[in-house]
Amino acid sequence: NWTTTSVVEEQVAAIRAQVGTKRAICALSGGVDSSVAAAIVQKAIGDQLTCVYVDHGLQRKGESAQVEKDFVAATGVQLKVVDAEERFLTALAGVSDPEQKRKIIGREFIRVFEQAQAELVAEAGAEGEEVAFLVQGTLYPDIVESGGGTGTANIKSHHNVGGLPDDIEFELVEPLRQLFKDEVRMVGSELGLPDEIVHRQPFPGPGLGIRIVGEVTKERLDLLREADAIAREELTAAGLDREIWQCPVVLLADVRSVGVQGDGRTYGHPIVLRPVSSEDAMTADWTRMPYEVLARISTRITNEVADVNRVVLDVTSKPPGTIEWE
Ligand code: XMP
């Protein structure tokens, strides 16, 4: 008889038995899976768990705060934040090719995480303790489908190549192994996580780095963060969050078009809205969302975001178009 309460109780007992008096670490991304996995392990072993959040500077507006404040407040988790924005931006300088961007972001992420991990191991060692466990938010579909079938698992394994170090030093703790996504959300709510975390739409690991077509710079990221925040605000206000699977907001940084704003002509960048409906992200269709909401988003973005003078709607299904632009 499946209840979220029994799942939590069972997992808490299992984690305690597995970890004993040793210590565990977990890489938090802000996503649903890692958040719920961390929350349940925290409930089981408290301060024996340390979470690491790598701030790569590629997240959306308010997302770091959500992890650093809201998640910590809801769980009491011990969190180590690594500010790595400079490092990522330097590594990405001059790079426009999507695959190269992904590789660089993945590589830097692993390096930064491994460094944080090594520091924690050393700190624990100094106190005579051992860090022996790595927490991961692996879900049931990730396991059954990692053999090469279809499903989000493949997307994950495909996209998250090198998402985390393949660490043989550590034993894995995977408290969500038996759950599907909707069950993970229920468990998250049961554990008291805020709705913004539990119902967060999918967001790619490389973040806004792959939503800027062209080179990634701080200025462009800031601009895209503003546009994305406006789109999300209006979609939420219109009650469309659950209906839309996700809505990437993309900056065409290498494109300029002529516009007219105020007293004169402008030569600015377009922003693309990519609202999609989907079951599992393997296939998707563009969401037929209300014109009034599109109009509000367009007006606000062109009024409020400097250097953007055009908003366009992506009306491509997947296939042939992927959900992300890069
Ligand atoms: P595409 O663009 O391939 O995206 O249609 C399918 C789904 O995967 C997400 N996505 C990623 N998720 N790391 C992730 O964890 C990534 O590198 C990544 N790239 C794309 C995308 O947002 C969509 O939900």
Question: Tell me: the pLDDT tens digits for 266-286?
Answer: 999 999 999 999 999 999 999
| pLDDT of 153 above 50 | no
Q: Which amino acid appears at position 202 of this protein? A: P
Alpha-carbon 21 to chain mean position: 31
What pLDDT is stored for residue 77 in this prediction?
A: 98
Rounded mean pLDDT of 55-78?
97
pTM here?
Answer: 0.92
* Cβ–Cβ < 8 Å for 48, 178: no
Judge whether 29 is annotated as a binding position: yes
Ligand 1: centre distance to CA 277 (Å)? 14
Instruction: Identify whether 319 is preceded by a cis peptide bond (ω within 30 of 0).
Output: yes
Angle, CA 206 vertex, CA 252 and CA 309 arms, to 5°: 20
Q: For the chain, where do the domains classified as CATH 3.40.50.620 start and end? A: 4-198
**Candidate of 324, 325, 326 to mutate for ligand 1, largest count of ligand atoms within 8 Å of Cβ:** 324
Question: What are the tokens at 68?
Answer: 């650093």
| Residues contacting residue 19 through CB under 8 Å, at least 6 positions apart | 44, 45, 48, 132, 133, 173
Is the CATH code 3.30.310.220 the one for domain 4-198? no
ipTM tops the 0.90 cut: yes
State the pLDDT confidence band at 145, using cuts at 50, 70 and 90.
low
State the pLDDT confidence band at 262, using cuts at 50, 70 and 90.
confident
Percentage of the chain beyond pLDDT 70 is 92
Q: For the chain, where do the domains classified as CATH 3.30.300.10 start and end? A: 211-313
Q: At what angle do helices 4-19 and 181-190 cross, to 10 degrees?
A: 80
Average pLDDT, the chain: 93
Ligand 1: centre distance to CA 76 (Å)? 30
b/e burial code for range 32-60 (CB count within 10 A of at least 16 → b): bbbbbbbbbbbbbbeebbbbbbbbbbbbb
Q: In the sheet where 78-83 sits, what is the strand order? A: 78-83, 49-55, 23-28, 131-135, 171-173
Alpha-carbon 312 to chain mean position: 24
Is the CATH code 3.30.300.10 the one for domain 211-313? yes
What pLDDT is stored for residue 157 in this prediction?
A: 47
Say yes or no: CB of residue 201 within 6 Å of ligand 1.
no
| pLDDT of 161 above 50 | no
Ligand 1, atom 4: nearest CA belongs to which residue? Answer: 323
Ligand 1: centre distance to CA 210 (Å)? 10
